[in-house]
Structure 1
């Protein structure tokens, strides 16, 4: 998206549609039918749409690692809040680990430092983070991870596809025509594999994790994204970013391990 291979909104639409096709095929092979109802479906669909498009628009400007740090910092806050509201009482060790990990993000993003991002794009990523946190909390109650993820993606893809067609017809606002083959291929890969299959795995794991544990473990994603951005996108890795990543990993380790 940063290099103009595909428009951010087009990326989001193609990503959702690719995920929907992949997941629908898997569910039909398993059950020979698709089910779109179920508890929490509207919450899952709305939060997925907000996440996908907030994420895509934010990454027009943000580096991979920095965007992931903002995203999962807000995911952690949202999921911790949800766990507390649901009656979970994290241990002092888990609280300390979460605070250390989140402190690393705050330190990195504090205004006045060169790493501070565009405010508007950071806000879009923050909104996406809240939406992903809600999506994850919603998934903890599902008994069929693959079926629930497929339903969320299919309904979201139908809404996004209809909205895209209307936007192109009325405003010409989504630029599908100038997308390169590489851009479309990356959107399909992001939708079919890393979103469709990846989110099904996430929904499978969620019921077996405490909400606070799930929140903290997701903070490893920014560290992976920083490494990927450096290796694949030639993004600069400053000493400040490295220290922040170490704080995040250290906090996660503290939160998910016992004293033993």
Structure 2
């Protein structure tokens, strides 16, 4: 059986795009409150995908049932986790926050078994668990000292965000067949409609500088809008479990960026974490059935 090179290429591109989001968010927070970053990301992405769908001649869905599916995807994959992360990270260290978000692939395995009825082998569970432990080492085990330290609700919010990302992948897999661009545009538009009442709280106190404005625009158009189209297509093509491995690849990319561009050095624990993540992903690969010998 041939490798899913399209799916692998999509994962690689999403890893680069989403792994570069953290720097853009840092810049955007210089001019916008956390809730503003979430709201304006959704608004920019909705506008961008609506214009893209129109320019390419892809009509938006007409069936109310399709819009209901898209609205659920927009809420669970965009608006709700953006708010949960923005709120949680105000009182939870970023290292610990990243560990919580990296639990998303484990939620995907559970939901794929319970909701989609997919068989999840012990080998795959073990591989994902090894990869998650690698994330902990890569991030720094010291982050776990903050676990439950008076910030229970914010930490639960971050864990809920990880569950939202997993749940949205399952929703995308279950929803009726809709082309990626119209489906993604509808999801973004629905999320933007729900975000509009929060706009007064999202506005900055002063006019932001050019840097934060550009960062929020790129976050909305590229990291949120265009990336959602690619994510939707990948989930529909290769499944939510395959898509979820991007959650383990992003920390690897972020680490490589730090080493290559910022001259950061890797500790022994981080090198071990790097190896565990790669090893876990290899372990989690499905065993391919051997072709039956001719009679």
Q: Please give the per-residue CA displacement for 1:14-51, whole angstroms capped at 9, x wherever unaligned.
A: 11111111111111123364337405234213212111
The one of 96, 102, 107 equivalent to 1:72 is 102
Shift of the 89–28 alpha-carbon distance from structure 1 to 2, 3 Å rule, reads: same
The one of 211, 219, 241 equivalent to 2:248 is 219
1:197 alignment partner in structure 2: 226
Q: Quote the offset at 1:201 in angstroms.
A: 0.5
1:103 alignment partner in structure 2: 133
CA distance in 1 between partners of 2:262 and 2:48 (Å): 27
1:17 alignment partner in structure 2: 43
Is the 1:12–1:52 contact (alpha carbons within 8 Å) kept by the matching residues of 2? yes
When structure 1 is superposed on structure 2, of 237-246 and 115-124 the one drifting more is: 115-124
The one of 133, 153, 161 equivalent to 1:128 is 161
Is the 1:70–1:105 contact (alpha carbons within 8 Å) kept by the matching residues of 2? no
1:5 equivalenced with 2:17 (yes/no): no
Shift of the 210–13 alpha-carbon distance from structure 1 to 2, 3 Å rule, reads: closer
The one of 180, 188, 206 equivalent to 1:153 is 188
The one of 52, 55, 66 equivalent to 1:26 is 52
Shift of the 235–218 alpha-carbon distance from structure 1 to 2, 3 Å rule, reads: same
1:247 equivalenced with 2:268 (yes/no): no
Secondary structure in 2 matching 1:140: helix
CA distance in 2 between partners of 1:231 and 1:123 (Å): 34
Is the 1:16–1:153 contact (alpha carbons within 8 Å) kept by the matching residues of 2? yes
Relative to the length of structure 2, the TM-score reads: 0.72
CA distance in 2 between partners of 1:230 and 1:57 (Å): 29
Q: Quote the offset at 1:205 in angstroms.
A: 1.1
CA distance in 2 between partners of 1:117 and 1:22 (Å): 41
Unaligned runs of at least 5 residues, structure 1 = 169-173
Is the 1:79–1:137 contact (alpha carbons within 8 Å) kept by the matching residues of 2? yes
Relative to the length of structure 1, the TM-score reads: 0.80
2:143 alignment partner in structure 1: 115
CA distance in 1 between partners of 2:263 and 2:144 (Å): 19
Is the 1:68–1:221 contact (alpha carbons within 8 Å) kept by the matching residues of 2? no
Q: Quote the offset at 1:67 in angstroms.
A: 4.0
Q: Quote the offset at 1:223 in angstroms.
A: 1.7
1:182 equivalenced with 2:211 (yes/no): yes
1:171 alignment partner in structure 2: none
The one of 147, 153, 173 equivalent to 1:140 is 173
How large is the RMSD of aligned CA atoms in angstroms? Answer: 3.1
Unaligned runs of at least 5 residues, structure 2 = 1-24, 291-295
Is the 2:81–2:164 contact (alpha carbons within 8 Å) kept by the matching residues of 1? yes
Shift of the 199–32 alpha-carbon distance from structure 1 to 2, 3 Å rule, reads: closer
When structure 1 is superposed on structure 2, of 11-20 and 224-233 the one drifting more is: 224-233
CA distance in 2 between partners of 1:150 and 1:90 (Å): 32
Q: Please give the per-residue CA displacement for 1:147-191, whole angstroms capped at 9, x wherever unaligned.
A: 1111111121122122223x37xxxxx535253321121111111
Is the 2:137–2:270 contact (alpha carbons within 8 Å) kept by the matching residues of 1? no
Aligned residues: 250
CA distance in 2 between partners of 1:228 and 1:44 (Å): 31
